[in-house]
Structures are given as C-alpha cells and as structure tokens.
C-alpha cells in the first residue's frame, strides 16, 4: 500500500518526505533524491495524524532510546486517505508484532528453563555450558529473524533476564561463580582449616574451588601454591568429582615430582595413593610404553651430557672431512663468527672447541625439540630481519639433526623431544586414551610448546563419559627459563589458547614484607606484557627494606646482619652467573659463623628463600646480561614480548623476592639500567654510596 503527495504538494514541501509505502515489514519513506527504509523493529507501531489547511501528514515514531524518541513526518498527503493508511499500517504492524510474540512464546520457556538449570546447578558453572546455551539461543534468534534487542522490545520483562548472559556472558558467568564460591566455602571449612599447618586464606580457597573447563592460577612468589595444589586434590576426591586415579599431576623435574608425591602422602594419606604424579618425560614414556610395549629405550647418549658432547665432536670431525661441508662452515664463520671462531685456515684445529661444541649441541636440542621440518623452520624464520644468517646456521646444523635422528632410528632408541612428540601423535590419533579428568601442572610458566601440545591433545580427546580439565599453577612474573625452551607467552596468552577458561590470582604472599613487595611488584609490572595483578604482603613494614649499595660494601653488610642476628639467619648471595661467586665466600663463612651464608645463581635460587638477600654485581652487561647474538635456538623460542630485557627483568624480580626481610642490590659506579631505574624517581629504596 502506498500513499503519495501530488506534484503541487511536492513543490511546496521541498525536500521533506512526500511518500510512504508499506513494504515487507517496513516503511519506505521517499523525498526528492533520497529514500529511507524503517523496519518494523525500529518503528514502534504508533502513527500520528495531522490535518493542515489543504493536506494532511503522517508521523511515525521510533522506540524510545536513551530517553529520546525519534520520528519521521510525511507531508502533503491527501487527507481523505491518511486515516485509512494509518489504520492499515497499524494493523499490519500489530499482525507482525503478534507473530514475533508468538515465536518468543514458543522459544522463551526453553531458554529460561535451561538457564534456570545452569544458574542453580550446585557446582561451578563452566564456560562451555554457558557457550552451548548462548549458541543455541543465537541460533533460535537467527531462525526467527530477530535479535535480542528486538525481542526485548516485544517482551521486555522476560527477555531482560537473558540479555546479560547473551551480551556479556563472561562477566555474568564470573559474577555467578563468585557468588557460588562464597557459599561453597562454608561447606569446606574443615578441609580448608586442616589440610595445611595454617588455614587457607580466602584467595587460596577460591583457587581450590575453581573448576572451569580450564583454569590458570597465578601464584606469586610465596603465595602458597603448593598448599593450593594439595588442597585441590583433597577437594576433588572428597567432593566425588574424581577418583584418585583420575587425577594427573605434572612437575618439571624428578625432585619436584617426588616432593609433590610426598606432600600428598603426608597431607592426604592413603586415599591419594593412586594419584599419578609424573614429570613430563615420565608421562611421555608411559604413553609410549602403553602403545608400543616395554621395548621403548631412551638413548644413553641423550641421557648423558658428556656422551652427547662426545657424539657432537665425533659427528663434526666426520662432517668436516667432506670438503664441501668444511667450506660451508668456513664461509659462514668468515662472515658470522660463532664462539669467537672465524673461518680461517686454523678452523680445522678447533673441531673440539668446547664453546663451539656447546653451541652445536644447543642448536641440535632446540631443532629436535621443535619437531619441525627444515622447510617449516625456514618458513617460520623467513620474516626475521636476520634470516640470511639464521638460514645459513640452519644449513650448518641440519645435517647434524639428520645424523642424530638416523642414529636413533638405527639403534631403535628415542630422545626426549622424540618421546614427547611421538606421545602427542599417539594421543591425537586416539591410540592412547587418557583416563584423567583433571590434569594439574605446577610451575606452568616453565612449560614449552612441545609439552603443552601433549597436554592439549590429552584435554581435547573426544571422550563421551567425561572431559579433561587443565588446572595450571604458575607465575608469568617468574618465567626465567627461555634458554631451556620455556615460553612465557603460553602463560600470558592462556585465555587465548584456552578460550573456555578462568584465570585467578593468589593475592597474598607470606614470604617478603610489604616494602620489598612495593619495589619488586612495581618493578616487574613496568613491562606491560606481564599480567597485572595484586600481590599483597602478609608482613607489613614501615621502614624501607630494599637498599642499593656499592659492591665493595658486601662484607660490611654481612657484619651488620651478624651484629643484629638473634637466631642464625640465612643469607643468600645471588649472582647472574657462577663466576659472580665472591672470591672471599669461604672466608666470610668462617668469619661470620653466626650466619648461614650461601651463594647461588639467580636462576638456581628459584623456589628458594632466605632471611636476607644480597644481589651481587648488578652492573652494566652483568645484570641485565649483555644481549648476545641471536642464534637459531633463540630465534625459534623468541617471545612476542619485545620489552627491553624482559626475561632479565623477571630474573631480577625472582632474585629480589627470595628475601623475607631485606634486600641489598650491590653495584659498581652507577650500576646497570636496573639500578639506575630504582635510584631514580620515587622508589621506596635506600640509596647508599
């Protein structure tokens, strides 16, 4: 149906709307040179009739938005026809409106019933459950050719309850789960008060009850992550969510795994005996033995660093006996020296050079761990600004990789990278079915891409009876093992890799006081790629406890600690490298018998703590360490984090947070950039000269 002004009326109304038409659930308004379509979802069904001296006009109103109502006026219309058009338009709109309401009446009860079940279920509500509901509702809306906002205009009271779940599902889900956790804590007061020597705090209790599809608990230094892991095992079993043999706990070393197992035995007892506590290598080996039988043999050369270095020397000697291979090395080294070796005539005599062999072994391990073909590696590196040099390094090392893999094949043996990659393939192809409902990883920030690929494969296996949930505990602020294959991006980007996940922060440290925390926490968060979080100190302190001081004052510092010592306090001397160990260390141990003095590297101190910490030689080129030339191993494990000295900053943070009471940062001259940063501005630091 169409209603239009005559030519005389059009002349007088100029550029205003002069024609209106009903067209497929919308109004079509026309003026000279333009046209506007107003769907029924925008028009609210009201029409205003206005009679002028000669002609009439129709006014169409939109739904109110932010307290304002938009309208459109069509002028110069024959008055005799205006009322009929208005009646017909309203009737057509009402028919459409009733159809929309009838569709909603059909679907709404189903949506509401499912949402009721989800909201009221006596458990943590998972992302996947909500996402399945959201997907179904959006599909239904698509079938109805309707949006949630349009539905809200039809049945506002009933639809408003759904809107937050559909528009902001994650934040709505988080709010629901926080409320559930607060109520659930009351049911587990006995466990939380007795599972450790001290009751779990509110943040730790929250972490234990966290039960999304996948979970990351950010556990800062001294925040009690071990207590959380132990309590969670007890909670999962006591709440009947898992039998002991449905829980897999993973650590990065034999000692850590043994300590974890011992803690379960002492805190939980016999009921936790069947919980599987493994290193990643033990897990990989058990999967291989399950599929291949007990004839899986790890190469003795792969297990012994000295044997592996001897193998590399032997391979290089044979390789250099081929003139073309030797010339390739000479050509590369003459342009890009490695381990201070150039491609001169004396190169052949350096075939056993320890630094060169160490470099070759490092590249071999990294290339094997990547699990990539030569072509794939080249593809990954092609955009790198130093591609020519790195590709040349690849040409040097790839024959070594091929020889290593051939040796393993001939002897029917495996190394650690092959063990992990083969185990991953068995899981992906369904040749191994994991029986675990929960996989828990300690020190998650140390994970490498190949290890995580295995865990993801286990979590993503198609199991009808149950799904596998990852529970990762770690701290991106303490990720310091990039040289060993760790990738901090796997922690900072956890939610991207595992979309159906929740990240929770343990917000209380029981190790260092508030003044150390004030400096250390601010220092680490200068890098915007680190996950921002609160880490409050249980021990509050008014006086400053971080000191920058000359390197020559270390003995004087020890004297001061000794004079005020009541018991036998522990003192950690920390250096970036082993060669930073003080020459007077043994003398100081004899001189200050009232002190427990130890030297460690900053890396070696991870997981340790002491009453007092003295960080040595925080000088330019020492800490942060001077940037070395990037080689293949570094390029393949390079983080997306381009913040200057990002890993060295984390290492310095780890060093500072080993202390309970006080930290001295010693340096020569003005010190490194880290010292200069702390000595400038309003840092709560004591500056000694």
Q: Which residues are annotated as a binding site for ATP?
A: 219-226
The HSE-up count of residue 608 (CA atoms within 13 Å, CB side) is 20
Site of tokens 């028919």: 95
User: 2 near 81, Cβ under 8 Å?
Assistant: no
**Residues that constitute the known binding site:** 219-226
The total number of residues shown for the chain amounts to: 689
- According to DSSP, the residues that pair with 687 across neighbouring strands are 548
Angle at 122 between CA 117 and CA 125, to 5 degrees: 70
- Alpha carbons 598 and 587: distance in angstroms, whole number: 12
For the stretch 116-125, contacts whose Cβ atoms lie closer than 8 Å and that sit 24 or more positions apart, written own/partner, are 119/176, 123/180, 123/211, 124/177, 124/180, 124/181, 124/209, 124/210, 124/211, 124/212, 125/173, 125/176, 125/177, 125/180
> How much is the CA Rg of the chain, to the nearest whole Å?
34
Q: What is the DSSP string of 635-677?
A: HHT--S--STTHHHHHHHHHHHTTEEEEEEEEESTT--HHHHH
- Alpha carbons 129 and 125: distance in angstroms, whole number: 7
Residue 322, helix vs strand vs coil: coil
Identify the CA nearest to 73 among candidates 60, 83, 85.
Answer: 60
530: phi then psi, degrees, rounded to nearest 5: -75, 145
C-beta atoms surrounding 680 within 10 Å? 10
C-beta atoms surrounding 272 within 10 Å? 21
- Alpha carbons 74 and 57: distance in angstroms, whole number: 5
Task: Please report, in angstroms and rounded to a whole number, the separation of the first and last CA atoms in the chain.
Answer: 91
Identify the CA nearest to 349 among candidates 310, 325, 320, 327.
Answer: 320
For residue 347, what are the contacts with CB-CB under 8 A and spacing of at least 6?
Answer: 326, 329, 330, 333, 341
Angle at 398 between CA 396 and CA 403, to 5 degrees: 115
3-state DSSP of 128-141: HHHHHHHHHHHHHH
Identify the CA nearest to 413 among candidates 278, 307, 279.
Answer: 307
Residue 232 tokens read as: 């969670």
Identify the CA nearest to 602 among candidates 659, 549, 521.
Answer: 659
Residue 498, helix vs strand vs coil: coil
Residue 409, helix vs strand vs coil: helix
Site of tokens 């901090």: 488
- Identify the H or E element spanning 469: strand 469-474
- Alpha carbons 520 and 535: distance in angstroms, whole number: 10
User: 486 near 448, Cβ under 8 Å?
Assistant: yes
User: 468 near 507, Cβ under 8 Å?
Assistant: no
């Amino acid at each position: 149906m169409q209603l239009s002004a005559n030519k005389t009326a059009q002349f007088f109304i100029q550029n205003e709307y002069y024609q209106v038409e009903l067209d497929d659930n919308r109004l079509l308004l026309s003026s000279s040179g333009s046209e506007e379509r107003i769907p029924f979802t925008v028009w609210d069904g009201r029409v205003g009739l206005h009679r002028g001296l000669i002609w009439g006009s129709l006014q169409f109103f939109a739904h109110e938005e932010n307290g304002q109502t938009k309208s459109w006026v069509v002028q110069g219309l024959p008055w005799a026809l205006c009322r009929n058009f208005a009646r017909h338009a309203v009737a057509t709109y009402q028919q459409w409106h009733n159809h929309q309401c009838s569709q909603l009446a059909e679907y709404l009860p189903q949506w509401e019933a499912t949402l009721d079940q989800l909201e009221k279920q006596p458990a943590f509500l998972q992302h996947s459950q909500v996402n399945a509901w959201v997907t179904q509702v959006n599909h239904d809306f698509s079938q109805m050719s309707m949006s949630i906002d349009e539905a809200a205009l039809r049945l506002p009271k009933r639809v408003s309850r759904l809107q937050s779940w559909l528009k902001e599902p994650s934040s709505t889900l988080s709010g629901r789960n926080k409320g559930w956790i607060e109520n659930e804590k009351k049911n587990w007061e006995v466990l939380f008060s007795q599972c450790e020597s001290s009751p779990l705090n509110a943040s730790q209790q929250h972490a234990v009850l966290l039960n999304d599809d996948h979970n990351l608990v950010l556990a800062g230094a001294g925040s009690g992550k071990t207590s959380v892991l132990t309590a969670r095992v007890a909670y999962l079993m006591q709440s009947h969510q898992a039998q002991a043999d449905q829980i897999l706990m993973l650590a990065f070393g034999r000692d850590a795994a043994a300590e974890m197992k011992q803690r379960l035995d002492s805190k939980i007892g016999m009921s936790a005996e069947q919980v599987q506590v493994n290193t990643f290598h033990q897990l990989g080996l058990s999967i291989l033995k399950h599929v291949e039988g007990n004839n899986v043999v790890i190469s003795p050369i792969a297990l012994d660093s000295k044997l592996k270095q001897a193998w590399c020397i032997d391979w290089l000697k044979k390789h250099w006996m081929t003139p073309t291979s030797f010339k390739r090395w000479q050509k590369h080294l003459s342009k890009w020296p490695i381990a201070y070796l150039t491609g001169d005539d004396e190169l052949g005599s350096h075939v056993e050079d320890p630094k060169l062999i160490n470099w070759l072994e490092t590249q071999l391990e990294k290339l094997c761990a990547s699990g990539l073909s030569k072509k794939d590696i080249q593809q990954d590196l092609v955009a790198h600004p130093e591609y020519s040099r790195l590709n040349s390094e690849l040409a040097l090392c790839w024959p070594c990789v091929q020889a290593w893999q051939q040796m393993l094949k001939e002897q029917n043996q495996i190394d650690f990278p092959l063990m992990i990659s083969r185990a991953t393939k068995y899981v992906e192809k369904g040749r191994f079915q994991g029986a675990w409902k929960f996989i828990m990883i300690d020190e998650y920030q140390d994970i490498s891409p190949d290890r995580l690929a295995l865990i993801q494969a286990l979590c993503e296996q198609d199991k009808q009876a149950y799904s596998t949930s990852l529970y990762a505990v770690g701290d991106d602020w303490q990720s310091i093992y990039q040289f060993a294959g760790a990738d901090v991006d796997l922690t900072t980007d956890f939610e991207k890799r595992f979309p159906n996940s929740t990240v929770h922060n343990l917000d209380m440290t029981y190790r260092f006081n508030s003044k150390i925390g004030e400096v250390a926490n601010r220092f680490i968060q200068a890098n915007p790629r680190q996950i921002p979080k609160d880490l409050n100190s249980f021990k509050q302190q008014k006086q400053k406890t971080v000191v920058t001081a000359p390197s020559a004052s270390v003995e004087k510092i020890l004297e001061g600690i000794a004079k005020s010592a009541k018991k036998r306090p522990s003192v950690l001397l920390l250096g970036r490298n082993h060669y930073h160990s003080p020459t007077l260390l043994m003398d100081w141990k004899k001189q200050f018998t009232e002190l427990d003095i130890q030297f460690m590297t900053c890396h070696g101190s991870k997981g340790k703590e002491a009453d007092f910490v003295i960080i040595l030689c925080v000088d330019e080129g020492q800490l942060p360490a001077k940037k070395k030339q990037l080689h293949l191993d570094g390029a393949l494990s390079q983080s997306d984090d381009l913040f200057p000295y990002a890993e060295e900053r984390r290492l310095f943070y780890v060093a500072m947070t080993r202390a309970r009471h006080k930290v001295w940062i010693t340096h020569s001259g003005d010190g490194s950039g880290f010292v200069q940063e702390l000595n400038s501005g309003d840092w709560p630091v004591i500056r000694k000269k």
